[in-house]
Amino acid sequence: MNLKNLIRDVPDFPKKGIIFKDITTLLKDKDAFKEAIDKLAEECEGKKINKVVAVEARGFIFGGVLAYKLGAGFVPLRKPGKLPYKTIKETYTLEYGTDTLEIHEDAIKSGDNILVIDDLLATGGTSLATVKLVEKLGGNVSKIVFLIDLTFLKGAEKLDGYDVSSLIEY
C-alpha cells in the first residue's frame, strides 16, 4: 500500500502559502492506519523501548498505539499548563515564532530507552525540544520516528546523531 497516496494536500492552511499535509485521510482508512502503525513499529525492532514519548496532538494518535504494540509506557508532551503535576519545560523556535513543551518531571527514569514519535518532521524544532526534555530526565533516545518528513525543510539535520526514520517523504 502506498501510504503517501492517502495524504491530502490542503493549500493555504494554516496560513497563505503553506500546503498542509492532512493525515486524517490516512487515519480514517483502517487498513492504511494499521499498515502505518505496523511499519512504525518495525522501525523500532531490537531497540528494547521502555517508553514512547509523543507530542500533542497528532503525535498522541500514533504514540498510544505504538506504546501498546511495543509493550511500553506512554508519555505525553503537552503545551504549558496542560499537565497536572510538576513539569520541566523546553522552549524552541518555530518557523514563525517560539513555542514550549512540558513533560512531567517523573515521566522518565534514568536509563529508560525512549521512542520519540510525531506525525510530521518539519524544521525539527519540536523534535529537538522533545529530545532535550527526554535527556534532561536521563532517558536514552533510542529511536525517533515520523509518519511524514518534509525533507525540503531539513529538520532531520537538527537531529543529527540520532536514529531517525520516517515512512513518507516530501
Q: Which residues are catalytic, by number?
A: 58, 95
- The values of phi and psi at residue 63, to 5°, are -60, -45
> Taking the alpha carbons of 23, 26, 27, 33 in that order, is the dihedral positive or negative?
negative
Distance of CA 5 to the CA centre of its chain: 21
Please give the Cα distance from 132 to 91 (Å, whole number).
10
45: cell is 525492532
